[in-house]
Structure formats: structure tokens, C-alpha cells
Amino acid sequence: MQDVFFLYIVCAITLIPVWITLILRKFFPNKLWLGLIVSFVFNGFGHFYRKGGFVYCLVILLIQALIMIQTENEEIFFIIPMLLSPLIMFARFRLPAINNIEGNSS
């Protein structure tokens, strides 16, 4: 019984940020400030705000896993992805080379 409850909690913790991000993408598309806030609050899941965010989400989660393996320090485990994710989101909005790769015209 506790295992099923724990599974529901993990699914909710994973799916709620993705759902919120997709709703924001639908109603407020291509807003830099909103993309930065979402990527700061939800770390890797915030990259679903722009199309093609799955790859960036995986990159952030991989970096987070490598940090935890290398340092075993919980503070660094949370702080570095929290700072790195908005930087990547800013680059996705502003760098023309990334926009060309993703197929965005803006």
C-alpha cells in the first residue's frame, strides 16, 4: 500500500511541473522572462516551455546526476542545475545558432 502511494507521489512531483510548463507555453508563448522563471523554478522540466525541451531536460538531469556522483554534496546537487538551467534557457532564446538547430524563426 505504501509503495503505491509513493509511486503516485513521485508521478505527481514529476508530471505537475511539466503540465504547468506546457500550459504556460500554450497561453504565454515565447516570453523570455517567463522561460527564465520556469527554468529556474522547475530546473530541467522548465525547458518544456520551448519546443524541443526534452533534450535539454535530459541534459540538465544528466548533469545533476553526474554532480551527485562526483561530489555527493546535496547543496551543489541543487544549486548548480538551478543556476545552469536559466542560462541554457537564455541561450535558447537569444543565440541564433540554437534557434536554427531547433527550427525556430524567432
What pLDDT does 34 receive?
93
Which H or E run includes 42? helix 32-42
72 pLDDT more than 70: yes
Provide the b/e sequence for 27-54 (b: ≥16 CB within 10 Å).
eeeeeeebbbbbbeebbbbbbbbbeebe
Q: What is the pLDDT of residues 9-50, one digit of tens each?
A: 988 888 898 899 999 999 999 899 999 999 999 888 889 998
Report the C-alpha gap between 1 and 12 in whole angstroms. Answer: 17
What's the mean pLDDT in 64-87? 86
Measured over the CA atoms of residue 67, residue 16, residue 40 and residue 93, the dihedral's sign is: positive
Q: What is the pLDDT of residues 47-71, one digit of tens each?
A: 999 888 888 889 888 988 888 888 8
What pLDDT does 79 receive?
87
